[in-house]
Structure 1
Amino acid sequence: MTRYALLLAPSANRVYADAAGRLSRAELVIFAGSGVLTARPVELAEERIGGVGYLTFSVPGEGLTERDVAHLSNLSAAYALYERVDDLLRPVELRPLARFDSDLITIPKYAGKTNEQFTRLLLNVTLLASASAPAMLDRRLVVLDPLCGRGTTLNQALMYGYDGIGVERDGKDVDAYSAFLRTWLKRKRLKHSAETVPVRRNRRLVARRFEATVAASREQLKAGSAQRVTVLHADTIEVGGLLRSAGADVIVTDAPYGVAHGSRGAGGELSRRPLDLLTAAVPGWVRLLRPGGALGISWNTHVAPREEAAAVLAANGLRVADGPGYRDLCHRVDQGIERDVLVAVAPT
């Protein structure tokens, strides 16, 4: 056995930091069960070494391969990895998917922003359940967030080298994301284009579309190998008619919590129940998933039991992922919010 110790990244959110070790353990279990690792981690535990919290595990035989390390470098709370040699820690270089500087995600600050570590965890566990899991490190995947707010999920997709598509009903959030990304791209002096255009159907305005492309060089931009992020100012319930069917590898979203956030159903009325939104929106979302694609959603269990949310996904032909780790992602956000994660997979 080769033993390892993963140092967890600090979190500005104290409540989330208290749950980070347990969540990282569940995330590592999901990585281990996904088939992307050559060597499967065992003997997972949360330990304190020198007074600091680590996630420890062992790997049979000669240990992690370079590709294994490349995968585990993307664990949402990974800060540093060490091989344990007797009582010593030998550093193992992490090589996360990080196409751009991390301030793409950390600069935006606003009320209701989803924790950045949790956003990456949600994207990871959804990807690992999908048919695209083996291509996580190699292919420019497409991530759709149908309730994208000000774009935390979209920015994480860009960081991974993927394309991002978002849908948001609040025009102020769409404008805020557009303004931030334009400014950030200019400040970083990246080759890019960005524009906002109307979307019309039968001469009727049905949405606004903000679209940006970004590449490391002008040559990549001209060659069509640039990444693309698109945000539609539209109602997520109507998104099935605005986007290409079977175009997303994964759908990842943080549903309204029913406390400070609400959602509007097909009739336009404000609801504090995320189940109302899911019932109306999931049929359209499913049509946007590629065969074998996965949908990952987080929500407040105080206003929607897990079994009822899972039933909505299953009723739309999705298989709920219920393997090791997937039932261990529930955690407290604040006094009124207990957040859980559901991942479901489309037929191949």
Structure 2
Amino acid sequence: MTEHLMLLAPSGNRVYAADAPRLAAAELRALTVGFGLAEPDVLTTCIAGVDYLSLRTGDELTSWEVRVLSQLSAAYALYRREGDLLAPVALQHPDRYPSDLVTIQKYQGKTNEQWTRLLLNVTAAATATPDRLLDGTLRVLDPMCGRGTTLNIALSLGLDVTGVDLDSKDFQAYSAFIKTWMRQHRLKHSADESSLRTDGRGRGRQLRIEVAASKDDHKAGRTQRVIYLSTDTTDLDGLIRPRSVDVIVTDTPYGVQHGSHGDRLARSPLDLLDRALPEWVRTLRTGGAVGLSYNRHVAPRDELAALLVTHGLTLVDGDPDAFRHRVDASIDRDLLVARKGR
């Protein structure tokens, strides 16, 4: 039996950090199932006062297995245990841009970046083509993207991504941030902001970005695209091509008010999802998956699951409490993943 120990990245969120080992173990199980790997025995252990995730396998980890492990949202360092000693195993971190792309933005109500990345990983692993998460061809949609945490994480992983949000303040905040960030890091890029119109009808505004991680990537044409549509997520006809997206991941409204905008969110997101899901599913490829982060206090799991099934999706099996964790007294956060029929 071979044992590897994974050191988890620290989280800026104290509450999330307390649940990080358990959530990382659940994420690891989802990835091993999705990528068809042998599931290791996973448990948490403490060595010299430091917590690790212990992975026990029958053989040495292959390069491919290390690459999948490197995708974990909380993966920081990996070691092979040799008696009382730990031998470093190099992780193949997928991040293509400096980490401040996803950490520098601070505002009330921002979702923890590790949770957003976990949601993307688990949803991608549930698709018919999980390898696209690793080779850069996965196409991501966040149909309620707010100030763009999902957009930045997808960008950091080398993926093309589209975001949708009706809130013009969030759109302008993201546009200002990403343009400034790309200039400060001297990245080769284009960023075009314009009115969004189809058939002579005003639909809002749009931001279209093309960026390369390095000058060599730019010369070789290895660029990524970020599109932000400031429009109604329940009316996407003519804006996003049918069957063009591999994964849809989003934070549903948690039923609490964040930030300074005066709009009061509806207590339950179920009515909004019922109107939006037909538009979202239409953009999803066969074999693609939808991953929703939600608050159990305002969206009971059984009701949300029934809604996804009603709109033609198949729930992905798993422990219904594997990813459940408390954010604060008003938010009992969880995720639910469903797949579009093959």
TM range (shorter): over 0.9
Contact 1:98 1:160 in 2 (8 A): yes
SS, match of residue 64 in structure 1: coil
1:210-225 matches, cutoff 5 A: 210-217=207-214, 220-221=217-218, 224-225=221-222
2:122 aligns to what? 125
The alpha carbon displacement at 1:139 in A equals 3.3
Distance 2:141 2:221 in 1: 20
Residue pairs, 1:50-129, within 5 angstroms: 50-61=48-59, 63-129=60-126
2:158 pairs with 1:158:
no
Counterpart in the other structure of 1:10: 10
Distance across 1 between alignment mates of 2:62 and 2:265: 51
Whether the 8 Å CA contact 2:324–2:333 is kept in 1: the answer is: yes
- Give the secondary structure class of the aligned counterpart of 2:336: strand
Structure 1, unmatched stretches of 5+, are: 263-267
The Cα shift of 1:218 comes to 5.8
**Aligned counterpart, 1:288:** 283
Deviation digits for residues 87-123 of structure 1 (CA, Å, limit 9, x no counterpart): 2111111111111111100111111111011011000
Q: Deviations for 1:42-88, whole angstroms, at most 9, x for unmatched residues?
A: 22111111111111011112x21111111111111111111111121
Under a length normalisation based on structure 2, what TM-score does the superposition of the two structures give? 0.95
User: Counterpart of 2:227?
Assistant: 230
Match of 1:257 among 254, 259, 274: 254
Distance 2:67 2:332 in 1: 32
Of the structure 1 ranges 135-144 and 162-171, higher mean CA displacement relative to structure 2 is found in 135-144
Q: Which amino acid aligns with 2:95?
A: A
Distance in 2 separating the partners of 1:222 and 1:7: 37
What's the offset of the Cα at 1:270?
5.4
1:24-48 per-position Cα deviation (integer Å, ceiling 9, x unaligned)? 11111111211343xx242211111
Q: Is the 8 A contact 2:212 2:223 kept in 1?
A: yes
Q: CA deviation at 1:226?
A: 1.2
1:271 positional shift: 2.0
Q: Which of 333, 338, 346 is the matching residue for 2:340?
A: 346
Structure 1 residue matching 2:4: 3-state secondary structure: strand
Residue 330 (structure 1) aligned with residue 324 (structure 2): yes
Superposition deviation, residue 221 in structure 1: 4.4
Mapped partners of 2:197, 2:10: distance in 1? 46
Cα gap change, 1:105/1:333 in structure 2, threshold over 3 Å: closer, same or farther? same
AA of the residue aligned to 2:26 = A
Task: Give distance in 1, aligned partners of 2:76 and 2:149.
Answer: 20
| 1:295 maps to amino acid | V
8 Å contact kept, 2:3–2:55 = yes
* Cα deviation digits, residues 137-159 of structure 1 (max 9, x gap): 11322110000001000100011
Task: Tell me the equivalent position of 1:22.
Answer: 22
Count of residue correspondences = 339
**Aligned-partner residue type, residue 347 of structure 1:** G
What's 1:265 paired with? none
Is the contact between residue 71 and residue 96 of structure 1 (CA under 8 Å) also seen in structure 2?
Answer: no
Instruction: Give the SS at the match of 1:244.
Output: coil
Q: Separation in 2 of the partners of 1:41 and 1:4?
A: 13
Cα pair 1:240 1:288 within 8 Å, conserved: no
The answer as to 2:295 corresponding to 1:300 is yes
Percent identical residues: 53
Q: Quick one: which amino acid aligns to residue 19 of structure 2? A: A
Pick from 310, 315, 323 the counterpart of residue 320 of structure 1.
Answer: 315
Which residue identity lines up with residue 14 of structure 1 in the other structure? Answer: R
Mapped partners of 2:340, 2:330: distance in 1: 32
Cα deviations across residues 152-182 of structure 1 (Å, max 9, x unaligned)? 0010001110001000111011111011111
TM-score, normalising length: structure 1: 0.93
2:45 aligns to what? 47
Matching of residue 310 in structure 1 with residue 297 in structure 2: no
Unpaired runs of 5+ residues, structure 2, are: none
Match of 2:168 in 1: 171
Alpha-carbon distance in structure 2 between the residues aligned to 1:276 and 1:114:
22
Check the 8 A contact 1:194/1:212 in 2, yes or no: yes
Alignment of 1:179-190 (within 5 A): 179-190=176-187
- Aligned-residue CA RMSD (Å): 1.8
Aligned partners of 1:85, 1:219: CA distance in 2, in Å?
A: 40
Q: 212-221 vs 69-78, which deviates more? A: 212-221
Question: Retained in 2: the 8 A contact 1:240–1:287?
Answer: no
